[in-house]
Amino acid sequence: MTRFFAPRTWLAILAVAAVLLVVLPVLHLAVPQGHPLHVSSFWITLIGKFMCYAVVALAMDLIWGYTGILSLGQGVFFALGGYAFGMYLMRQIGHDGVYQSDLPDFMVFLDWKAFPWYWAGTDSFVVALVKIVAVPGLLAFIFGFFAFRSRIKGVYFSIITQAMTFAAMLAFFRNDMGFGGNNGFTDFKRVLGIPITAPGTRTTIYILSGVYLLLALVMCRYIVTSKLGRVLTAIRDQESRLMFLGYRTLSYKLFVWTLAAVMSGIAGALYVPQVGIINPSEMSPANSIEIAIWAAVGGRGTLFGPILGAFAVNGAKSWFTVAFPQFWLYFLGLLFVLVTLFLPRGLMGLFEMLRRRPAVKEQAPEAVEPSVEPQVAAPAPLPATEPVHTQSPSIPPGIAMEGKT
């Protein structure tokens, strides 16, 4: 019923993907340093990071924008995926640590003699891959099962997700948890035996992140245009009505919640080798709130919006934290307030408005006779992700715009 992507949209996606995944890596690897066209490793790392964030924003859009479940604990799944892969990266250090021991430096420092039991198998890449999916997925499934079964909704759900990420952060801060305490994991040397800071390795992980973002976008688009997507938006709008139609909404919410957690976990695993560190601050409640802000700034329920939001907000953050480090949080708070008040549909809504406004302005002086006016207003502003049906002129403009919080 709903088209997957319009041909023009596909073209735009592939063009952006080609620039990010082919042009930039070539300019990074093939063009010598000092050449004006050389892309420095700073940019490759930065954009690679942003692409991981963008997947988390997509996951946020699935659960919040489409299903109406505001999770303020998405950072915990991101961090767990990062930790799961970080354990493997720690094992790859081998004897090259400061203490030249079998054990990671922080364990030597704690005077531990052997790996704790839950570090078993961490030297295997395959086990690490399984854990990246399984650990965030299992936590989300168990947490979600109990929360949704008790019909915890709305702000109460948001608060317990905050509590969850805060509790996880406090736990990971403890040295005797065996995850490096407040320093977390860092000083990675290799991945699969290859030096991790080599330009080739960096570029490979960067490209993997980009391909992952593209796949995540296509998967999310498939989901939201399927019947399941319509069930999700129906859960957001009228959950009890849907239950009365015979849908077990618990399974649907659990599915999308767990999927979002797994998506975030994989993004975290790709993030860690690029930034070279994972520590409990990734689980701070503020981090998870920031994820929600990416989605809100970009535009909930649009898929493209949250990706854009992740890039825009983090771009601003990169600049702000250098230029005015002490004002970043104020700016972020202000941004959120302004977006909520004036741009309920985020940047995507703004673009939609700007695209139509010039036409309205040109016509406005001539619109003396009322007959011109309806023609201008005729294309109803349907959200970009909803099926746009041209044969429905009687839809009052704006009816589809109501965002649900």
Partner 1 sequence: MNAPAMRAGPAAPGYGHVVDPDRVDTSHGPILYLEGVTVSFDGFKALNALSLTIERGELRCIIGPNGAGKTTMMDVITGKTRPDAGTAFFGQTFDLTRLPETEIARLGIGRKFQKPTVFENHTVFENLELAMKTDKQVRATLFARLSSEQRALIARTLKTIRLEGAEHQLAGSLSHGQKQWLEIGMLLVQEPELILLDEPVAGMTDAETERTAELILELEGAHSLVVVEHDMDFVGKIARKVTVLHEGSVLAEGGMADVQENERVIEVYLGR
Applying CB under 8 A, which residues contact partner 1? Answer: 1, 223, 226-228, 230-231, 233-234, 237-238, 241-248, 251-252, 255, 386-387, 389, 391-392, 394-396, 399-400, 402
Q: Which is nearer to partner 1, 18 or 243 (CB)?
A: 243
Residues with Cβ within 8 Å of 271's Cβ and at least 6 positions away in sequence, in order, are 49, 52, 53, 78, 82, 209
Q: Which is nearer to partner 1, 371 or 394 (CB)?
A: 394
Closest alpha carbon to 61 in 245, 220, 179, 193: 220
Q: Are 45 and 282 in contact (CB under 8 A)?
A: no
Q: Are 38 and 261 in contact (CB under 8 A)?
A: no
CB of 391 to partner 1, least distance (A): 6
Q: Which is nearer to partner 1, 263 or 269 (CB)?
A: 263
Which tokens sit at 303? 């898929």
Q: Which is nearer to partner 1, 32 or 396 (CB)?
A: 396
CB of 327 to partner 1, least distance (A): 38
**Euclidean distance between CA atoms 204 and 209, whole angstroms:** 9
CB of 57 to partner 1, least distance (A): 22
Q: Which is nearer to partner 1, 131 or 300 (CB)?
A: 300
- Distance from CA of residue 109 to its chain's centroid? 35
Q: Which is nearer to partner 1, 245 or 359 (CB)?
A: 245
Q: What is the 3-state secondary structure (H, E, C) of 265-306?
A: HHHHHHHHHHHCEECHHHHCHHHHHHHHHHHHHHCCCCCHHH
CB of 388 to partner 1, least distance (A): 10
Q: Which is nearer to partner 1, 252 or 271 (CB)?
A: 252
Please name the residue that has the structure tokens 């069930």: 231
Say how many C-beta atoms besides its own lie within 10 A of residue 375's C-beta.
10
Closest alpha carbon to 183 in 194, 192, 174, 191: 174
Signed CA dihedral, 281, 283, 288, 291: sign only? positive
Amino acid, res. 175: N
Q: Which is nearer to partner 1, 84 or 303 (CB)?
A: 303
CB of 225 to partner 1, least distance (A): 11
CB of 367 to partner 1, least distance (A): 24
Residues with Cβ within 8 Å of 50's Cβ and at least 6 positions away in sequence, in order, are 310, 311, 314, 315
Please name the residue that has the structure tokens 């319509």: 230
Closest alpha carbon to 239 in 154, 137, 345: 154
Q: Which is nearer to partner 1, 277 or 382 (CB)?
A: 382
Q: Which is nearer to partner 1, 270 or 348 (CB)?
A: 348
Coarse DSSP helix, strand, coil percentages of the chain, rounded to the nearest 5 percent:
70, 0, 30
CB of 227 to partner 1, least distance (A): 4
Task: Note the helical H segments in 150-198.
Answer: 154-173
